Amino acid sequence: MKTFSFETVANAKAFQISPTDTNYFAILFDEEKDAISNIFVIEIFNRGGATPPNEHSEAHEFFYVLHGEGIARCGDKELPIKKGDALLLNPGNEHVVRNTGDSKLYTLTVMTPNQGFAELIRGGTPIALDAEDVAVLSGKA
């Protein structure tokens, strides 16, 4: 029986789903690596970056803002988000998260259940986190 999983940001595998996307993901825990039914990632939005409009038929998606600020839109409602804010999106609602700040926006993003999100991310292009990413996520920025 597995007692725990551990990951460091510096060692996390990162992916960009599509070359035109303005956000990317560092996988912390998922089914492939940790045999769990959800996924935990650090989602990183470039300046001006956003998720493509999307929705999940079964999954709840959780965002906790670690650094930066942005706007979250769900359906026809928008709200500003900033460091320390938590947002839970219910299934069946189209949503977008957009970086409106002067720096990158970093969120802890959790999808429960995974609903193919990990496979979508891992099917993207592997990328390296840059020095800014590692500094912010390790608490050195």
Could you state, in order of their start, the residue ranges of all structural domains in the chain? 24-137
The band of 89, judged by pLDDT with boundaries at 50, 70 and 90, is very high
pLDDT in tens, 13-70: 999 999 999 999 999 999 999 999 999 999 999 999 999 999 999 999 999 999 999 9
User: What's the pLDDT score for residue 18?
Assistant: 95
Average pLDDT over residues 89-107: 97
Identify the pLDDT of residue 140: 86
pLDDT value for 133: 96
pLDDT of residue 119: 97
Domain 24-137: which topology?
Answer: Jelly Rolls (2.60.120)
Measured distance CA(129)–CA(24) in Å, rounded:
9
CA distances (Å), origin 9, targets 94, 101, 128: 29, 22, 11
Backbone angles phi, psi at 10, to 5 degrees: -60, -30
| Beta strands at 39-45 and 60-67: parallel, antiparallel or unpaired | unpaired
- Give residue 9's pLDDT band: very low, low, confident or very high (50, 70, 90): confident
Number of neighbours of residue 10 by Cβ within 10 angstroms:
11
